[in-house]
Structure 1
């Protein structure tokens, strides 16, 4: 009997599935390809109107830990039932002091599910509510937990340093997705971040076949949620500059989000309707085709006014794998994959003029497109293969000792 036959991991997610979180799905699929048993626990139901096609490939069952009605009798009855499984639950509840009652309730449900389903390890994505629930459930069920910290959960103005420090300290191990994040966590949280290590998000490269950008239509593509940190307002400004200079091109922005109306109004105010289009969300298969049909992908990411920012955008990795040269900015971990004039072109944040110049270079210089795309693909193959990176993650899961679960402080 192999280790995979007896070792079962519970993935804890705030919502599942989510249109924008293909990196989670790819990671789970890579685990399942090796025979690792996965079960998914979601704190909330999905709210997206669109879902990526690869979700249908996931075999793991999904359990929703819903907490809509928490009247005293419901919570009390759940505690009584759980204490039959965990006789020391009442004394362990001290760890939940100050936590949101919904998180505590869901953690109790998760602990019970973990015990009855034979879950040996819990792994959460994002150091927010999913990790809160995983941490508490880990304590109640006496199994270790780990989590992956991304970007918003580290940098956003809503992050509570004391809370994140507890999670870093109590986890058996912590993963983050860039060296930038790793350095920030070490500098900010000191010894509490001693167990953090960097594992890049990855791609299944069999799904992202390279094609030369030598002969591409004069098309700019951008993909992402229509929110401030994506910087699409600067892309629209850059397109206006290109049009003013007499260039013929088209720009398609794929995605949905709260900024849609503002971006559409900007397009109309600049009279760019014939050049720039917001084409809404698309399934991943179609996004692959769209990205690979473009001469350049623009990812003009910025640090938002609320300190929100991207980690390393998945679409940037996908474009580089597919052979589409990229223009981006120096936000967080992006320079670790997009190296200026080597694997792409880097421009300053908030700088539409520089962005327009970089786009112009790639629209007009096929030789430069090929050079950057060729070198970018090599970097993706070396550092961002999901099967290699997920294997590293599995070694962390299996090495996590039960003693890593900390007592209440």
Structure 2
């Protein structure tokens, strides 16, 4: 790209917008608030029917890259790209890379390269080290535009991850960020010679998550849980814990917000256990309704586990949101979660998958032996210190500009 081109960052994501990926929108908004010029390139159309209101505040234009499948359409993509002599030469020079990729990835890389040149993009940043980074890397090779990416969890730990391909992406990237110290240690231990990698926590717009101390509880212990209804969220453990507490005479109720492939299984589990009057599946909720749920509940539970295929959560954004708003939290010792839920300090930590641990933790809130107010106030302080989206945006801007960022501390 010409040296006089003003900096412009192209965000590469698989799907945009995606209801469950609020962290992407928060990051874009924070970088725009710094004055950065952004554009979004999406590889797939969204199939979400609900959207968070913050989406309307994003100023960046969104470009949806096609996935042509007919030979004539594929040929048209190449013909259009070849109209740019520099891109035509790059395609010829890197034909081996393109042929080695999946056809969708190669074609979308050509489309991204053409769009990035047209939109005068100076840096590409992808979220997740899977398909979005595959396409960004190939487009970078075709254009010379540097790229970076954020590695989260599934793109590191799932059994389908190609370690050699991930190592190549790390090596070729201008820099990589990942969302926890646990992830950073994992990358440095398993792929030690690959690239410039930093831990950078996802951030929150703290003004949208104001701290509200819990009133004195009267009535049953009200439990809130939010997330996709998939194995790694561990909501079956929460259902089983509610059953045991009921059987022990402890008055509790739980509301679980989210949708996913296990909705039917969870519903059947609730019905078979006879706790339909105590556990409700709410379906997907926009952020303002999640905020209301948190405000009306006594404790937030994120009972995360590592699923059989190795998939795991990194640092669930909704857990940070809950901690920010003043609801005390219970979670598990999965990946980076202990970095924010510090047992007895900023929350209560259970062993992943342990119904016994979760029952004991919930009992402590139900009988008042756990210092809920102290946990909540210390959790808010930690979020303010470490998870402000303005800090995240500043560090991303510094890395993109090739400057040193704040030291990562445990």
> TM-score, normalised to structure 1's length?
0.94
Pair 366,63 (structure 1): closer, same or farther in 2 beyond 3 Å: farther
Which segments of 5 or more consecutive residues in structure 1 lack a partner in the other structure? 401-409
Q: CA deviation at 1:214?
A: 4.0
Q: Deviations over 1:92-150 (max 9, x none)?
A: 22222321111111111111111111100000000111001100001111110000000
> Hey, what does 2:214 align to over in structure 1?
213
Q: CA deviation at 1:49?
A: 2.4
Contact residue 104 and residue 133 of structure 1 kept, 8 A? yes
> Hey, what does 2:130 align to over in structure 1?
128
- Establish whether residue 337 from structure 1 lines up as the match of residue 340 from structure 2: yes
Pair 96,87 (structure 1): closer, same or farther in 2 beyond 3 Å: closer
Aligned residue-pair number: 396
Contact residue 215 and residue 366 of structure 1 kept, 8 A? no
Q: Deviations over 1:44-79 (max 9, x none)?
A: 000122222211111111111011x32333222322
- Establish whether residue 138 from structure 1 lines up as the match of residue 137 from structure 2: no
| CA distance in 1: counterparts of 2:333 and 2:284, whole angstroms | 26
Which segments of 5 or more consecutive residues in structure 2 lack a partner in the other structure? 404-410
Q: CA deviation at 1:23?
A: 0.4
Q: Deviations over 1:302-329 (max 9, x none)?
A: 0000100000011110010000111110
| CA distance in 2: counterparts of 1:307 and 1:209, whole angstroms | 35
Q: Deviations over 1:331-375 (max 9, x none)?
A: 000000110000000111111121011011123328711010010
Contact residue 124 and residue 148 of structure 2 kept, 8 A? yes
> Hey, what does 1:404 align to over in structure 2?
none
> Hey, what does 1:389 align to over in structure 2?
392
Contact residue 106 and residue 133 of structure 1 kept, 8 A? yes
Pair 88,365 (structure 1): closer, same or farther in 2 beyond 3 Å: same
Contact residue 214 and residue 369 of structure 1 kept, 8 A? no
Further displaced range: 118-127 or 360-369: 360-369
SS in 2 for 1:307: coil
Alignment of 1:240-255 (within 5 A): 240-255=243-258
SS in 2 for 1:70: coil
> Hey, what does 2:75 align to over in structure 1?
76
SS in 2 for 1:328: strand
SS in 1 for 2:31: helix
Further displaced range: 171-180 or 211-220: 211-220
| CA distance in 2: counterparts of 1:52 and 1:323, whole angstroms | 22
| CA distance in 2: counterparts of 1:358 and 1:294, whole angstroms | 16
1:377 equivalent among 380, 393, 401: 380
| CA distance in 2: counterparts of 1:216 and 1:187, whole angstroms | 46
